[in-house]
């Protein structure tokens, strides 16, 4: 079953994008410069979710004012924290990323920030999210001062009319909530005051400032890949590999990887087009570069028999999608389980590193970890929870149900502390080469041993007040003893790994579970569910999940968050 099977599937899902769907890029960019956010409208203020501030210039939720204000706020944060090393800046291929980059550079240069930009020669100008993390960590290794940080201008896999802006502090990973809240508060103050206090110089002057430098992100990252992936075993197996960058920031990285490591790797589509007209339409009839969606990945799935292994990454290349001959597109949970099963048996220098997963990831991972005698570190949704463990090597692997993951180098040291779509993709080739079976076959073997898992996510309506109460539920507010015919064994409002609030509720039984979390942007809550007893059991879990949540919301209880 697909990773994220929504409630209503568009009849256009999986079909080629039509001309009417394509974003008007000149209008989009014009709105970026001409639009003024209305501070009285919540959607038009700066708000950092799990992956930065996102929005569209067409709705005044992402425009020049936002980027100028956030950039100045980041400069203020750097001064406050004594961060005085270089700032590595990368962008993806969304239409709004280029003008947003120009705006950010104007502010960063005016503030005297040592700025590291990609080589601007038309070849190496886009920079994937994991490459920024890699650059930050490479610079900071062994240092106690002059530490680097970074900015990635990307809305990830979101539709073509979106823009996004995220900050990575010196630990190289996504900024923690206390950091993003400070930056957002400062940025909103600049918006409210008409950008008073924002320092800025013209773009042409900023590019030639003494503090602006060029950095060879591509070769620094590509040349280091052999320290995290066994490229020799891939090359030795002479695998035929297919890659679809989905028009994203890694489009020039894949040919460089193939050349550097002498791989038989074909980029099936090298087009960069900000309308993303080459995509097949996602579940809701919109263009979205999601490598874990069977609809968005329709073209590469159709090519599965042409390659021994194939894969894709989203627009900023921090998510992966694995296409096998045996199973087509692997659901993210399935591949995470396979990757963990393989890595912890093939990386002896990792020692007793733990397995990191989010509370809404598959229990197949729990069962694999138990079989291998590994410690499980279960955390709330968000890759930021894995950063410290990956940094100090106590976590060998961190993975999310949304197809985001990273893991340690071969020697057990840190690789990246942000999601890296490239290395899990290449790992699929390593697995196929070494074991002689693709990850789809490996997962089928795991399912025979641990049970066949069905996983799905759905949405349910919720008012803002219901969402607020859902985020603050206590276990005592759940009075049900049974879930889909089985005894409830655990009720969680805090993650077992770090006791951090999960911002909702998770209810577990012997053969299944559900988790409910409020959406940060819509009047809905998200229900994640998994069953090891088949389709009818999964359907029953969803039915009872809504009833359990509704009853809990109607029950007074102590707040679980401040």
Which of the residues are catalytic? Answer: 156
Q: How far is Cα 197 from Cα 69, in angstroms, rounded to an integer?
A: 9
Query: Which tokens belong to 33?
Result: 């410069």
Angle (nearest 5°) at CA 91 between 258 and 385: 90
Name the nearest CA neighbour of 134 among 165, 74, 88, 167.
Answer: 88
Q: Are 365 and 337 in contact (CB under 8 A)?
A: yes
Q: Are 162 and 55 in contact (CB under 8 A)?
A: yes
Q: Cβ atoms within 10 A of the Cβ of 262, count?
A: 10
Query: Which tokens belong to 245?
Result: 């960058």
The helix (H) or strand (E) run that includes residue 66 is helix 64-81
Q: How far is Cα 160 from Cα 157, in angstroms, rounded to an integer?
A: 9
CA end-to-end span of the chain: 37
Place of tokens 């110089």: 201
Q: Are 104 and 89 in contact (CB under 8 A)?
A: yes
Q: How far is Cα 383 from Cα 133, in angstroms, rounded to an integer?
A: 13
Contacts of 521 (CB under 8 A, 6+ apart): 49
Residue 499 buriedness (CB in 10 A; 0-12 / 13-18 / 19+):
exposed
Q: How far is Cα 292 from Cα 333, in angstroms, rounded to an integer?
A: 10
Contacts of 397 (CB under 8 A, 6+ apart): 339, 340, 343, 344, 353, 355, 356, 405, 406, 407, 408
Q: 97-110 and 64-81 are packed helices; what angle lies between their axes, rounded to 10 degrees?
A: 40
Specify the DSSP class assigned to residue 16: B
Q: Are 438 and 324 in contact (CB under 8 A)?
A: yes
């Amino acid at each position: 079953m697909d990773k994220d099977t929504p409630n209503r599937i568009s009849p256009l899902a999986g079909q080629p994008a039509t001309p009417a769907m394509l974003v008007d890029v000149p209008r989009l960019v014009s709105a970026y410069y001409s639009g003024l956010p209305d501070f009285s409208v919540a959607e038009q203020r700066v708000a950092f979710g799990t992956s930065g501030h996102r929005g569209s210039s067409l709705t005044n939720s992402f425009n020049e004012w936002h980027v100028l204000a956030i950039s100045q706020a980041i400069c203020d944060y750097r001064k406050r924290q004594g961060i005085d090393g270089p700032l590595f800046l990368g962008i993806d291929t969304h239409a709004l990323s280029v003008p947003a980059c120009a705006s950010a550079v104007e502010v960063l240069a005016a503030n005297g920030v040592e700025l590291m930009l990609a080589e601007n020669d038309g070849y190496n100008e886009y920079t994937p999210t994991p490459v920024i993390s890699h650059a930050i960590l490479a610079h900071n290794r062994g240092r106690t001062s002059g530490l680097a940080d970074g900015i990635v201008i990307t809305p990830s896999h979101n539709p073509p009319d979106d823009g996004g802006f995220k900050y990575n502090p010196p630990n190289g990973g996504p900024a923690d909530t206390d950091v993003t809240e400070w930056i957002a508060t400062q940025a909103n103050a600049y918006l409210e005051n008409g950008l008073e206090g924002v320092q800025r110089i013209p773009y042409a002057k900023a590019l030639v400032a003494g503090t602006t430098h060029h950095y060879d992100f591509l070769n620094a990252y590509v040349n280091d890949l052999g320290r995290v992936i066994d490229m020799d075993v891939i090359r030795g197996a002479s695998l035929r590999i297919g890659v679809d960058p989905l028009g994203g920031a890694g489009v020039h990285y894949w040919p460089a990887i193939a050349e550097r490591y002498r791989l038989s790797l074909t980029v099936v589509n090298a087009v960069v087009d900000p309308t993303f007209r080459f995509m097949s339409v996602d579940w809701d009839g919109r263009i979205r570069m999601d490598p874990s969606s069977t609809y968005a990945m329709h073209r590469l799935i159709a090519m599965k028999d042409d390659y021994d292994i194939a894969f894709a990454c989203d627009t900023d290349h921090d998510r992966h999608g694995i296409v096998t001959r045996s199973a087509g597109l692997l659901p993210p949970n399935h591949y995470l389980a396979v990757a963990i099963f393989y890595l912890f048996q093939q990386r002896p220098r990792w020692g007793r590193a733990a397995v990191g997963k989010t509370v809404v990831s598959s229990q197949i991972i729990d069962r694999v970890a138990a079989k291998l005698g590994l410690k499980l570190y279960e955390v709330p949704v968000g890759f930021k929870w894995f950063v410290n463990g990956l940094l100090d090597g106590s976590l060998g692997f961190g993975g999310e149900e949304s197809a985001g993951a990273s893991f340690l180098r071969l020697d057990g040291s840190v690789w990246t502390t942000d999601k890296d779509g490239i290395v899990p993709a290449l790992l699929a080739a390593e697995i196929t080469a070494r074991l002689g079976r693709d990850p789809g076959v490996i997962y089928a073997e795991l399912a025979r041993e641990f049970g066949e898992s069905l996983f799905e996510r759905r949405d349910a309506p919720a008012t803002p007040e219901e969402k607020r109460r859902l985020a603050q539920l206590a276990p005592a507010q759940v009075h049900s003893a049974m879930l889909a015919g089985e005894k409830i064994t655990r009720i969680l409002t805090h993650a077992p790994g770090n006791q951090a609030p999960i911002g909702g509720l998770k209810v577990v039984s012997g053969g299944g579970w559900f988790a409910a979390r409020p959406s940060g942007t819509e009047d809905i809550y998200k229900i994640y569910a998994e069953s090891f007893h088949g389709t009818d059991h999964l359907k029953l879990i969803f039915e009872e999940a809504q009833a359990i949540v509704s009853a809990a919301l109607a029950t007074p209880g102590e707040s679980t968050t401040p």
